[in-house]
Structure 1
Amino acid sequence: MLIWIKSRKYCAYGGKKQRMDLNHELRYGNAQHPFHLEYNRRKGHFSMATDHMHRHYELYYLFGGERNYFIKNRIYPVRAGDLVLVPSNEVHKTSDTGVPNHERIVLYFNTEYFDQMADEEAELLLTPFHNDNRVLHLAEPDKLRIEQLLYDMLREIQDQSPGYELAVRHAAALTLLFAAREVMNPKYLPSEEAVSPAAARITEIARFISEHYQEPLTLGSLSEQFYLSPSHLSRTFKKYTGLGLIEYIGITRTKEAQRLLRETDERITVISELSGFENFSHFEKVFKSFSRMSPRSYRSGFRRKKT
């Protein structure tokens, strides 16, 4: 579960710097558990490689560095001290800003995590993910509070003292509660930092794709639509979203297909057409590449969970 790479970390607790020896990487649990987390301190340049869309609710905190975070159809510049909230099944990816080195933690919660709670408690802890803004700039005192909470949790995972799993689960719930209160309290600072003209243009294109996924969309047609050369559009889209343009179109259509498979009784061939795929064989190939299962298996698996 743990990757042991020794290094030193300093953290501010109550205005005093205390030395903490943390590994470069720490993990707790895995994707099959109701809750799991990943912590990394990365050197150099890095862009997220996989898992652009999954059923987990994701809480991301950036301790240091800066990132671009693409969520659904918008680019968010993320800086140290920012809290990022990604709802279940939302297209997302982090990418490099050109500034090397960053330190982050990601907490993943699946639906089973919230099913264990009373309805009112689950509703409260899901509040951050129902907020329109995906990135919160925290005020300085709140940065100290959440960093102490998160670093204490990481210390428990690394030391594995008796009862550490209980302490980790407790800290995870407190982190969600912290995020919920930040969203509900008007003192929180929404992230409205302006993006570059190029990033704003890419956001416009991503929103166009999310609204017109049922129509034929190609690199050529989009480059004409937005008066950009195909090479420039392809390169710039990848730079700011971390995703290839055709990849993003496929993910957007797959997400709609998943929704229809969950919520309707339409035949799978019809769902393929409604989701914008040009033919059924292409639909199956793209759906399986992003969902890691066939459309039929996805539908039957979802219905088994409901019964």
Structure 2
Amino acid sequence: MKKTNIDFDYPDRSFHFSAREVFGHYTMLSNHFHDQYEIYYLLSGERHYFIKDRIFHVKSGTLVLINRQDVHRTTDADTQDHVRVLLNFSKDYLLSSPYVIALLDGLFMNNNYVIPFLSAEQQYVEVLLDKMIHEIEHQSTGFQVALQALLMDLLVYTSRYIESNRHDVLAPPSQVHEKISQIVQYINTNYQTPLTLSSVAQNFFVSQYYLSRTFKQATGFTFVEYINNIRIREAQRLLRETNHKVIDISEAVGFGSISHFGRVFKEVTRFSPLNYRRLNTE
């Protein structure tokens, strides 16, 4: 696969494609969760990848699947330089037949996450990605349809590869930060309660210094950043799906004051809670 730097978006944000060669230190932006599916392919180099409540060591030739609304972030591994391809697509981007929905659910909702392809399979995947780059660069008649077809080919190929190699193919989570994974699971379950660095460290019999330093190292988030992400993600859902008052939602997701909630919500989403609700319920 050729190395290139490219960024492409549909105006309605239903599809995004990015190929990028990165030199030196790089960490994804904070507050990273979204309502699109994500496919990440590492062409060269290595990365640490935090997904939901687990940490993976990702090497070249590996495909990563991120479900909608899963908090995730990449951080540096031993080799900082890397080349990666990133695809995001909305739930409605592909034809919403029951067969497509079943395929997406099977891939993104079964904790497959990280798939290290063997050499021959890497070549097939990279040819598909090269074809997508070609379509984006040339934008010939029907390129939008071609992109959908190539994405569908990639999804079907990956699904079959997982099904045929399930016991051999899926990368296990890193054991180095097993304690942090347990703490993340605890936060994911108890975000609506008062959580402090001190109380969580005490619950897991570690020092505050160890928790603060190791949490950031393993996940790419500070302890407070991560809790805020989880609380705001749930607040977004409640704003979209219920008629609850903003102050009630603030309390339900664990914020002690409405002013603090409003400030953090805007930092994460760029909108006030009321504006977010208005934009997402019209």
Q: TM-score, normalised by structure 2?
A: 0.90
Shift of 1:125: 3.7
SS of the equivalent of 2:18 reads strand
- Structure 1, unaligned runs of 5 or more: 1-10, 12-19
* CA-to-aligned-CA distance 1:97-154 (integer Å, 9 cap, x gap): 132211111110112314x433333332443111223112223322221111112222
Shift of 1:244: 1.0
Instruction: State the percentage of identical aligned residues.
Output: 36
Q: Give the corresponding residue for 2:64.
A: 84
Closer, same or farther: CA 295–238 of 1 in aligned 2, 3 Å? same
Alignment of 1:206-221 (within 5 A): 206-221=184-199
Q: Which range is displaced more, 223-232 or 274-283?
A: 223-232
Residues 1:279 and 2:257 aligned together: yes
Q: Which range is displaced more, 284-293 or 56-65?
A: 284-293
Identify which of 192, 204, 214 aligns with 2:172.
192
SS of the equivalent of 2:92 reads helix
Closer, same or farther: CA 87–96 of 1 in aligned 2, 3 Å? same
Asked if the contact 1:253–1:275 (Cα under 8 Å) also holds between the matched residues in 2, the reply is yes
Closer, same or farther: CA 58–278 of 1 in aligned 2, 3 Å? same
SS of the equivalent of 1:254 reads helix
Identify which of 49, 52, 55 aligns with 2:29.
49
Cα distance in structure 1, aligned partners of 2:41 and 2:25:
18
Residues 1:151 and 2:130 aligned together: yes
* CA-to-aligned-CA distance 1:46-86 (integer Å, 9 cap, x gap): 11124511111101111111111111121122111211111
Q: Give the corresponding residue for 1:97.
A: 77
Q: Give the corresponding residue for 2:223.
A: 245
Residues 1:236 and 2:223 aligned together: no
Q: Which range is displaced more, 148-157 or 92-101?
A: 148-157
**Structure with higher RCO (Cα < 8 A, 6+ apart):** 2
1:254 maps to a residue whose letter is: I
Cα distance in structure 1, aligned partners of 2:277 and 2:164:
39
Cα distance in structure 2, aligned partners of 1:182 and 1:290:
36
Identify which of 25, 44, 52 aligns with 1:72.
52
Residues 1:168 and 2:129 aligned together: no
Cα distance in structure 1, aligned partners of 2:24 and 2:92:
36
Closer, same or farther: CA 303–165 of 1 in aligned 2, 3 Å? closer
The CA RMSD over aligned residues, in Å, is 2.2
Cα distance in structure 2, aligned partners of 1:31 and 1:184:
35
SS of the equivalent of 2:65 reads strand
Asked if the contact 1:65–1:103 (Cα under 8 Å) also holds between the matched residues in 2, the reply is yes
Asked if the contact 1:77–1:195 (Cα under 8 Å) also holds between the matched residues in 2, the reply is no
Asked if the contact 2:55–2:173 (Cα under 8 Å) also holds between the matched residues in 1, the reply is no
Shift of 1:158: 3.5
1:175 maps to a residue whose letter is: L
Q: Which range is displaced more, 117-126 or 79-88?
A: 117-126
1:139 maps to a residue whose letter is: L
Cα distance in structure 1, aligned partners of 2:43 and 2:76:
15
Asked if the contact 1:131–1:183 (Cα under 8 Å) also holds between the matched residues in 2, the reply is no
Cα distance in structure 2, aligned partners of 1:32 and 1:166:
16
The number of aligned residues is 281
Asked if the contact 2:31–2:229 (Cα under 8 Å) also holds between the matched residues in 1, the reply is no
